[in-house]
Homo-oligomer: A and B are copies of this chain.
Amino acid sequence: MTTITKAACIGGGVIGGAWAARFVLAGIDVAMYDPHPEAQRIVGEVLANAERAYAMLTMAPLPPRGTLRFAPSVEDAVQDVDWIQESVPERLDLKRGVLNEIDAHAKPDALIGSSTSGLLPSDLQRDMAHPDRLFVAHPYNPVYLLPLVELVGGNQTSKETIERAKAAYAEIGMEGVVINKEIEAFVGDRLLEALWREALWLVHDDICDTETLDNVIRYSFGMRWAQMGLFETYRIAGGEAGMRHFLGQFGPCLQWPWTKLTDVVDLDEALVEKIGAQSDAQSGMHGIRELERIRDENLVGIMQVLKGANGGKGWGAGKLLADFEARLWAGAGKADVDPTAPAPLRLVETKVNPSWADYNGHMTEFRYLQVFGDTSDALLRLIGVDDAYVKAGHSYYTVETHIRHLGEAKVGEALYATCQVLSTDDKRLHVFHAIHRADGDEVLATAEQMLLHVDAAAGRAAPADPAVLARLQAIADAHSALARPEAAGRHVGQKR
Contacts and interface: CB of A to CB of B under 8 A. Distances in A.
Interface string A289-317: 00110110111011111101111100111
The 10 closest A-B pairs by CB, nearest first: A214-B229, A222-B225, A301-B305, A148-B219, A226-B226, A140-B220, A194-B198, A227-B298, A366-B369, A210-B231
Interface stretch (A27-35, A156-164, A237-245): A237-245
Interface string A247-276: 110110111111101101101000011011
A310 to B, nearest CB: 6
Interface stretch (A123-131, A337-345, A395-403, A472-480): A395-403
Nearest to A90: B253
Interface stretch (A2-10, A94-102, A172-180): A172-180
A337 to B, nearest CB: 22
25 contacts: A118-B258, A140-B224, A148-B216, A180-B208, A180-B209, A183-B207, A186-B207, A187-B212, A188-B221, A194-B259, A197-B254, A199-B231, A222-B229, A225-B225, A225-B226, A227-B295, A240-B288, A247-B267, A251-B267, A254-B264, A298-B305, A399-B404, A401-B403, A402-B492, A430-B492
A220 B148 contact: yes
B179 A207 contact: yes
B213 A141 contact: no
Interface stretch (A105-113, A356-364, A378-386, A413-421): A356-364
Contacts of A200: 254
Nearest to A223: B226
Given A259-B194, A355-B305, A402-B491, A217 B225 contact: yes
Contacts of A411: 311
A365 interface: yes
Query: A interface, how many residues as a size bin?
Result: 35 or more
